[in-house]
Amino acid sequence: MSAAASSPAEAPPQIDYVALPAGATVGRYQVVSILGHGGFGITYLARDTQLGRDVAIKEYLPAALAVRQDGGSVLPRSAEVADDFGWGRSRFIEEGRTLASMHDAPSIVKVFDFLEANGTAYIVMELLRGRTLEDRVKAEGSFSPAGLQAMLEPLLAGLQKIHDAGFLHRDIKPSNIMLDTDGRPTLIDFGAARAAMADRTRTMTAIFTPGYAAPEQFTSSAKQGLWTDIYGFSATLHYAITGQPPPSAFDRLMADTYEPLAGLWPRGFDIRLLRGIDAGLALAVEQRPSSIAAWRAQLHYEAADRATTLVMAPASRAASHRSTAHQYTARRGWLAIGVGIVLAGLAGAYVTFAPAPTPQGQPATTTAADATQPSPEADEAALNLSTTDRRRIQLALTAQGFDTRGTDGTFGPRSREMIAAWQQAHKHPATGYLTAAENQALRDASPPSSRQPAEQSAAPSVGSGLFVGSLSGSATGGGGAPPAPMDADLRLAGHQLVGRIVHPACGSLPVSLAVDPAGTVSGSLRLPEAAGCATNAASASGRLAGSTLTLDLRGADVRFRGTLSSQAERRPANTSSPPGQRIDVP
């Protein structure tokens, strides 16, 4: 190129041959510059020549489907993608029309106009000045309880308005929330049209941000809904409080390492708010709030006065599980209280500071009883409950009217809530964690069937387990060479099989299939073509029986079949697991 021969001082300004040039007009709007662009379109800074104001204009130009001709008109790349391009343009205009009707929705970007020109479509929006929530946290650190409360309510109100109109955002994350100079939030960059396009055509790839996308967004077979936005919003609140996103939902499906915020309990935050965020981050759709109204009731977003607890736990397995919470709480406690405490002689002690200042500004002290009082979580951890024990407790709670919505042996947000409700009903401290006496009372009250061995009491489609193995392939589209076998790594979680299949050339592909009470497996997924890595829609069928899982995957021109085995059954006692096989998933 000629530019390569120029010295840096003489280099001409870079020209974007895809975007509209500065000075170009779209209706009554004149392009000033480019604000940003991605795989779905381009956003411009423009001037409304009639009203004399600056606006932002988003242009529909999916790079995989369309090209710009002669610096102006947008055309489909080929006749094969023309229908997809036109369908996506209709969805884009529908998104603009919906947002334009939402002028009374708080904290939602305002849409002034939408129009068609140059063979494509445009949405004209208010120009927001400020920074994203992501940039705010990177620059200043995590939010205070008051700061989070000020941001949370308007976003909840705006998102509820959008949901009431039958619309989803589908891409809530810190970089899609703008904060003005006063900290007022605005939700931007709705991804509904973009996600719909990715669902329709394999030419466009759905792009998700790890940590903020819900599990159902990783597969085409799972239904998305209000609960999908709630997951993304909960993950964004997690980032605002801790400065870090939660683990990726896909990774959590394989081995859930998420630490509930209610366990961390950062200083000043209402425990109900933290539990509400944890509920919004539940992997199973049925365990998440089903609407903003239901979630709002769980959040109770007023900040709470709470004693700051500094914990230096003994070096034990139970204590190390909570080390992140202790470090985080201690750090916030030093900043809030502003006093120096010598900790070297307090190893193993639990030190509590009262929220009210002590006389003459002297640091609070503890009694001997305070110094040896374990936390409710530590009490329960000392019980060493097995998965079977926890399943019996869930059965006992449900039988007494405290429905845990599942008996998988995992104490998630819903189970903790029901434990606390049961404790309150029996006039015990409602901590959500069990004491030895409470554990024994619930075990004694569990239904007789739950006292049988777990493999006898669990239905084929209920429980958890890891199934691994290989699927052999065959070409079905005309006698081509059979594709290489694929490894499969699937986890049974309730009535779902989730995980991945690994193609030797194309890499990992997500899988989410349904399992009915009889053990019949069904669902859909995407499989690579016989001659490449482009994926097509495929169907799945199979049977779960005991420790074996039989699968039959049928694609456009390929078929993969095989039998997977329970990892526990495949691995002999006292031997190491095969390379690459996960051993940390029950």
Written as one string, the DSSP assignment of 235-255 is HHHHHHHHSSPPPPHHHHHHS
123 strand-pairing partners: 58, 114
Q: How many CA atoms lie within 13 A of 274 on its CB side?
A: 19
Residues 319 and 446 in one domain: no
Distance CA 416, CA 361 (A): 38
Which residues 6+ apart lie within 8 Å of 295 measured at CB? 156, 230, 276, 279, 280, 289
pLDDT over 90, % of the chain: 27
How confident is the model at residue 88, as a pLDDT? 83
- Tokens representing 247 are 């683990």
Residue 450: inside a domain:
yes
Dihedral Cα 135, 141, 143, 147, nearest 10 deg = -70
pLDDT in tens, 451-481: 444 333 334 334 457 888 888 888 775 556 7
- Asked whether residue 485 carries a pLDDT value surpassing 70, the answer given is yes
Binding-site annotation: residue ranges = 58
116 and 135 in one domain?
Answer: no
Indicate if 277 and 158 belong to the same structural domain: yes
Q: Is the pLDDT of residue 247 over 90?
A: yes
Angle, vertex CA 436, rays to CA 434 and CA 438, nearest 5? 55
Band of residue 568 on the pLDDT scale cut at 50, 70, 90 = low
Compute the average pLDDT of residues 361-381.
Answer: 50
Say how far apart CA 205 and CA 170 lie, in whole Å: 15
Please state which of the ranges 63-77, 306-320, 527-541 shows the lowest mean pLDDT: 306-320
Q: How far is CA 191 from the centre of its chain?
A: 15
Instruction: Tell me: pLDDT of 124 over 90.
Output: yes
What are the C-alpha distances in Å from 581 to residues 501, 584, 585?
A: 13, 9, 10
Does residue 560 have a pLDDT over 50?
Answer: yes
Q: What phi and psi values does residue 163 have, to the nearest 5 degrees?
A: -65, -40
Q: Which long-range contacts (CB under 8 A, 24 or more apart) does 320-328 make?
A: 321/381, 322/263, 322/377, 322/378, 324/259, 324/264, 325/259, 325/263, 325/264, 325/265, 328/242, 328/264, 328/266
Domain identity same for 243 and 271? yes
pLDDT, average across residues 316-331: 36
CATH number assigned to the domain comprising residue 13? 3.30.200.20
- One domain, residues 119 and 48: yes
Last residue of a domain, one of 101, 126, 151: 126
Give the confidence band of 17 by pLDDT, cuts at 50, 70, 90.
low
Domain contains 584: no
Q: Are 167 and 192 in contact (CB under 8 A)?
A: yes
Residues near 79 by beta carbon (within 8 Å), at least 6 away in sequence: none
| Together in a domain, 414 and 550 | no
The DSSP code for 108 is B
Better-predicted residue by pLDDT, 524 or 300: 524
The residue among 80 and 570 whose pLDDT is bigger is 80
- Determine the Cα–Cα distance for residues 232 and 235; give it in Å rounded to an integer: 5
**In-domain check, residue 579:** no
Is the model's pLDDT at 369 over the cut of 60?
A: no
Taken in order 396, 398, 402, 408, is the CA torsion positive or negative? Answer: positive
Cα 30 → chain centroid: 39
User: Do 182 and 288 fall into the same domain?
Assistant: yes
Which of 76, 105, 126 terminates a domain? The answer is 126
If DSSP codes are grouped into helix, strand and coil, which group holds residue 44?
A: strand
Alpha helices in 243-291 (DSSP H): 249-254, 261-264, 271-280
Query: Is a pLDDT exceeding 80 seen at residue 304?
Result: no
pLDDT at position 313: 33
Q: Is pLDDT above 80 for 511?
A: yes
Query: Per-residue pLDDT averaged across 421-438, rounded?
Result: 85
Higher-pLDDT residue of 540, 342: 540
pLDDT of residue 456: 39
Q: Beta partners for 503?
A: 507
The pLDDT of residue 25: 94
Whether the Cβ atoms of residue 155 and residue 76 lie closer than 8 Å to each other = no
Provide the pLDDT confidence category of residue 157 given band limits of 50, 70 and 90. very high
Instruction: Write out the DSSP string of 439-494.
Output: HHHHHHHS-GGGGS-HHHHS-TTSSEEEEEEEEEEEE-SSS-PPPPPEEEEEEEET
Answer yes or no: is 408 within a domain: yes
The pLDDT tens digits for 207-228 are: 567 899 999 888 766 788 899 9
- CA proximity to 274, closest of 285, 284, 266, 286: 266
| pLDDT score for 141 | 95
- Quick check: 554 pLDDT over 90? no
Q: Which one, of 44, 43, 24, 47, lies nearest residue 33 by Cα?
A: 44
Q: How far is CA 572 from CA 376, 460, 550, 575, in A?
A: 37, 23, 21, 6
CB atoms within 10 A of CB 75: 16
Both 171 and 259 in a single domain? yes
Rg (alpha carbons) of the chain, rounded to whole number: 28
Look at 425 and 371; give whichever has higher pLDDT: 425
Instruction: Using alpha carbons, select from 284, 346, 356, 272 the residue that is nearest to residue 313.
Output: 346
Residues belonging to the chain: 586
Residues 119 and 197 in one domain: no
Query: β-strand 520-528 against 535-545: which pairing, if any?
Result: antiparallel
Between CA 150 and CA 535 the distance in angstroms is: 44
The binding site for ATP comprises 58
274 and 289 fall within a common domain = yes
With bands split at pLDDT 50, 70 and 90, how would you rate the model's confidence at 142? very high
**Phi-psi label, residue 291: left if phi above 0, alpha if psi -120 to 50, beta otherwise:** beta
Kindly state whether residues 331 and 391 are assigned to the same domain: no
Are the C-beta atoms of 565 and 547 separated by less than 8 Å? yes
Averaged pLDDT score across all residues of the chain: 74
36 inside domain: yes
Which stretch of DSSP H or E encloses residue 550?
Answer: strand 548-554
Residue 117 lies inside a defined structural domain of this protein:
yes
The candidate with the shortest Cα–Cα distance to 129, out of 45, 59, 48, is 45
149/144 Cα distance (integer angstroms): 9
How many domains, in total, are found in the chain?
5
Predicted confidence (pLDDT) at residue 21 exceeds the cutoff of 60: yes
- Give the bridge partners for 125, in sequence order: 56, 111
Residue 586 lies in a domain: no
Token output for 220: 């085409």
Candidates 478, 490, 580, 584; CA nearest to 540 is 490
Residue 409 and residue 514 in one domain: no
User: Which residue type sits at 203?
Assistant: T
Does residue 548 carry a pLDDT above 90?
no
Domain encompassing residue 401: 379-457
| Residues forming beta bridges with residue 138, ordered by sequence position | none
| 502 in a structural domain | yes
Instruction: Tell me the CATH number at 560.
Output: 2.40.160
Residue 294 has pLDDT above 70, yes or no: yes
Domain termination site, one of 373, 403, 418: 373
Owner of token pair 């029901």:
418
Query: Is 245 within 8 Å of 238 (Cβ atoms)?
Result: yes
Contact 62, 82 (CB under 8 A): no
